[in-house]
Every structure is written in structure tokens, then in C-alpha cells.
Amino acid sequence: MADAILAPNLPQWMKEHTDRYLASGGTDGHMYKMTRPDIGELTVASLLLITKGRKSGQSYIFPLFYGETGKSYFVIASKGGAPEHPGWYRNLQSNPEVDIQVGTKKMKAHARTTSGEERARLWKDAVAFFPPYADYEVKAGDREIPVVVLDPVG
């Protein structure tokens, strides 16, 4: 993770959140608190995903909300409901071997895109911990938003 840099073009709130997460070693920022007009105050668990750029080869850090499934974690490639997949998802399609930081724990993981019943179950869990995902699904139109499981390795 030492050579990883913050992904370009992130919104300011994500940059500030990631800076807090990194500066504190994961003790501040793991649980992200926000207030949204549509749902009020919400606290969501977040991790840092480090992918290797598919074109640049540079390691990039992305802060993402997550859930847990067994001994693994899962994240949602929503990009706010945009018509295309986020860059981090396209990166891990090229190279599914990633690094993650969950709170103070750093580990290597293998990323895999879910399908069928597993995707449906995890999507339901994701909407429960972050209700805006339901709106993102509508905005995404024909794009099925990927649900990605991060299986720790080693």
C-alpha cells in the first residue's frame, strides 16, 4: 500500500474521508457518518480498496462502503447509478488481486463479481446498510450494478 495514491477525480468528501482514514491508521474513518436530506443521519462501515490501474499500473486507493459475508467483505460498484462501471471495478476486472484496509486491518484479497442468488442476497444487504443504493439501481437503467466479494488471502 505504500506506493498507492488516492484515485484521481474523487469528490472532495471522499478525499477528506480517505485522508482521515489513512492519517489515523483506520481508527477514524472506518465508520463513516453522514447526513442526507432523504434519509437523515446514517453511519456506514467503509474500507479502503487498493487496485492496480489497468492502463497505468499505478496503485490507486478507493474508499468504499462495505458489508460482510462470512469471512469476506463485499462492495458495490454503483458509481452513484452512472451508466458505466467505476474505474476501480474495471481495474479489478483486469487484475482481481487487491489490497484492502478494513479499519486497522490491512490484507490482500481476491475480488470476484457475484451473480444469481448470491448477488441478490448481498444486494439486499447492501440496500439495508446504505438505502441510496436502491435509487442508484434505478438510475443505472440497463446496467446491472456489480456486487463484488473481497475474499482475504493468505
pLDDT over 90 at 40, yes or no: no
Question: Do residues 152 and 72 lie in contact, with contact meaning Cβ atoms separated by under 8 Å?
Answer: yes
Q: What is the pTM of this model?
A: 0.94
- Residues 97-117: pLDDT tens digits? 999 999 999 999 999 999 999
pLDDT over 90 at 51, yes or no: yes
- Residues 17-33: pLDDT tens digits? 899 999 999 999 899 98
Pairing mode, strands 72-76 and 31-36: unpaired
Q: Residue 30 has what pLDDT? A: 92
Q: Residue 1 has what pLDDT? A: 59
Say if domain 5-153 classifies as CATH 3.30.70.870. no
Which one has a higher pLDDT value, 57 or 68? 68
Q: State the Cα–Cα distance between residues 30 and 46, nearest whole angstrom.
A: 5
Phi, psi of 89 (to 5 degrees): -70, -40
